[in-house]
């Protein structure tokens, strides 16, 4: 049955769309069974701007992953990012009807559902409601309220909000590609899952995921997510600057950045020159590596200063020493040479590059441990996290991989419509409390079906 516990992570990025199929081995590591990649043509700065092209890219990536693994993909865990994402902090409470009974999961769910009723700006929708600290009556700083007594249950929440239209567009691309939607996860949270460990989250750390179109930030402290932000600049703007600055085509600019680029101009000498072939018989262009590094340095500095401003605005900077573990860089943009040194110079915080290889099984393809796949590995891990909970009650009769989502939806409908009459078999199912993520996925599916 362990072999049937397979999940799929789908990363819809600005430069690439990646689908990764995997399972957890007996040592708790991720065994990647197949991966597919396609150039992302319909996404700009993390936002879908061409549905048809995005669907084609998803299908291409999924088909490649299926061919490598020999498995058929049914449902996926998909990531969401883009400049429309914002986060807010909110406190809320509920008064329990019976203070003599201990707090259970239903009370937590009731509190989270209350936060979901928050009035958002027009066109916005809540994506994640993440509890931070709880307070029971007059007792504060409660990390696990379940099993405790109290009449008033209060909590601080980190609420992630996005544009309804963009969430619908992501969902439409996935369903139109012939796939089911298992869950939607904020990409910085997925990346954090792949490259951060518990000690770093406890000590305080800022994860900076430099993608093609956006730079994602996630701040953790005391093991709790404290802040998330999406900055609408990424590796593509560096490529664009090189292209414009040296009057070359985009493909050449990207190659220059990857092969010879550096974020620290002092490392290159004036006589280090690279020659770029001219177009259609024109003379080749000669570019000094120092001038190339100066262009990269200027844009990378701008991106890092934007992120550092976000960290300081939230109150976690080097002066008050709250982020002991410093900064972890990941994503394709983190591979620029000497970026770690530049980030340390700008922020004064300890920095390392984050690789997802810690969670991958031994013998995995070396390419998978690249920071480029940090988000994809994180989404796969998020998908696998859901599987054991979902399969506990269906494991006897049904194949987990194919029928878990439809089975769950049928149970929900029976619970709502036929509440007065519940058979013994059905009584067991509602005991499994639905998480906020399951509810969001279910609501999104209903929303998409209505739109059709």
Q: What is the pLDDT of residues 241-253, one digit of tens each?
A: 999 999 889 999 9
Domain 2-83+165-196+359-451, CATH among 3.30.1370.100, 3.30.420.40, 3.10.20.30, 2.30.29.30: 3.30.420.40
Give the residue among 246, 214, 304 at the shortest CA–CA distance from 260. 246
Q: Which residues, in sequence order, are CB contacts of 344 under 8 Å at separation 6+?
A: 350, 351
Tokens 């769950």 correspond to 408
- Confidence (pLDDT) at 434: 53
SS3 of residue 182 by DSSP? strand
Q: What is the pLDDT of residues 77-91, one digit of tens each?
A: 999 888 888 889 999
Q: Is-same-fold flag (2-83+165-196+359-451; 199-354)?
A: yes
Phi, psi of 209 (to 5 degrees): -105, 105
Q: What is the pLDDT of residues 385-439, one digit of tens each?
A: 877 544 433 333 333 333 334 334 443 343 444 444 444 444 444 444 555 556 6
Distance CA 48, CA 448 (A): 16
Distance CA 57, CA 76 (A): 15
Question: What kind of fold does domain 86-163 have according to CATH?
Answer: Dna Ligase; domain 1 (3.30.1490)
Contact status, residue 118 vs residue 125, Cβ threshold 8 Å: no
Contact status, residue 236 vs residue 359, Cβ threshold 8 Å: no
Percent of the chain with pLDDT over 90: 43
Q: Give one DSSP letter per residue of 344-374, joined into a string.
A: HHHH-S-EEE--GGGGBPTT--GGGGSGGGH
Distance CA 141, CA 186 (A): 26
- Residue 260 above 50 pLDDT? yes
Give the residue among 106, 98, 155 at the shortest CA–CA distance from 131. 155
Highest mean pLDDT, choosing among 65-74, 182-191, 294-303: 294-303
Distance CA 220, CA 56 (A): 36
Q: Give one DSSP letter per residue of 151-175, joined into a string.
A: SEEEEEEEEEEEEHHHHHHHHHHHH
Q: Which residues, in sequence order, are CB contacts of 194 under 8 Å at separation 6+?
A: 330, 354, 356, 359, 374, 375, 377, 378, 381
100 — pLDDT class (breaks 50, 70, 90):
confident
For residue 242, what are its two tokens? 């090189």
For residue 59, what are its two tokens? 């299908």
Q: What is the dihedral sign for C-alpha 238, 241, 245, 246?
A: positive
Tokens 């093991």 correspond to 223
Q: What is the pLDDT of residues 139-194, one digit of tens each?
A: 888 888 999 999 999 999 999 999 999 899 999 999 999 999 888 889 999 999 99
Q: In what order do the strands lie in the sheet with 180-186?
A: 30-39, 16-24, 6-12, 75-80, 180-186
Tell me what the pLDDT averaged over the chain comes to: 83
Q: Which residues, in sequence order, are CB contacts of 236 under 8 Å at separation 6+?
A: 14, 15, 212, 213
What is the domain partition of the chain in residue ranges? 2-83+165-196+359-451, 86-163, 199-354
- Confidence (pLDDT) at 445: 62
Contact status, residue 221 vs residue 321, Cβ threshold 8 Å: no
Phi, psi of 338 (to 5 degrees): 65, 15
- Residue 441 above 70 pLDDT? no
CATH number, span 199-354: 3.30.420.40
- Confidence (pLDDT) at 27: 83
317 — pLDDT class (breaks 50, 70, 90):
low
């Amino acid at each position: 049955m362990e072999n049937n516990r397979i999940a799929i992570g789908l990363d819809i990025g600005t430069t690439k769309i990646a689908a990764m199929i995997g399972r957890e081995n007996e040592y708790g590591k991720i065994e990647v069974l197949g991966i597919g990649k396609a150039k992302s043509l319909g996404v700009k700065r993390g936002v879908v701007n061409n549905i048809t092209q995005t669907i084609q890219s998803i299908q291409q990536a999924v088909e490649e992953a299926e061919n490598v693994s020999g498995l058929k993909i049914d449902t996926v865990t998909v990531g969401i990012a883009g400049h429309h994402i914002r986060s807010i902090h909110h406190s809320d409470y509920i008064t329990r009807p019976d203070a003599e009974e201990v707090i259970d999961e239903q009370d937590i769910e009731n509190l989270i559902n209350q936060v979901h009723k928050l009035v958002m700006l027009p066109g916005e929708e809540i994506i994640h409601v993440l509890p931070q600290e709880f307070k029971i009556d007059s007792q504060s700083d409660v990390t696990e309220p379940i099993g405790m007594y109290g009449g008033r249950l209060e909590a601080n929440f980190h609420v992630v909000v996005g544009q309804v239209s963009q969430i619908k567009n992501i969902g439409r691309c996935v369903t139109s590609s012939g796939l089911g939607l298992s869950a939607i996860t904020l990409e910085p949270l997925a990346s954090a899952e792949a490259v951060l460990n518990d000690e770093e989250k406890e000590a305080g750390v800022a994860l900076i995921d430099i993608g093609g179109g956006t730079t994602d930030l996630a701040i953790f402290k005391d093991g709790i997510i404290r802040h998330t932000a999406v900055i609408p600049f990424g590796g593509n703007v560096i490529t664009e600057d090189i292209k414009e600055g040296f009057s070359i085509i985009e493909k050449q600019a990207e190659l220059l950045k990857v092969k010879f680029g550096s974020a620290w101009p002092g490392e290159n000498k004036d006589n280090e020159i690279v020659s770029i072939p001219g177009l259609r018989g024109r003379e080749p262009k000669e570019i000094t590596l120092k001038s190339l590094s100066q262009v990269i340095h200027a844009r990378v500095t701008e991106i890092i200063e934007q992120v550092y401003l976000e960290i300081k605005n939230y109150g976690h900077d080097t002066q008050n020493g709250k982020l002991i573990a410093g900064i972890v860089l990941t994503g394709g943009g983190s591979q620029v040479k000497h970026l770690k040194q530049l980030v340390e110079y700008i922020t004064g915080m300890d920095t390392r590059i984050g690789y997802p290889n810690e969670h991958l099984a031994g013998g995995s393809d070396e390419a998978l441990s690249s920071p480029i796949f940090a988000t994809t590995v994180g989404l796969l891990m998020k998908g696998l996290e859901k599987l054991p909970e979902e399969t506990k009650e269906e494991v006897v009769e049904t194949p987990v991989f194919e029928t878990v989502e439809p089975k769950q939806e049928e149970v929900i409908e029976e619970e709502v419509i036929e509440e007065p009459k519940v058979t013994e078999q059905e009584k067991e199912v509602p005991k499994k409390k639905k998480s906020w993520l399951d509810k969001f996925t279910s609501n999104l599916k209903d929303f998409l079906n209505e739109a059709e």
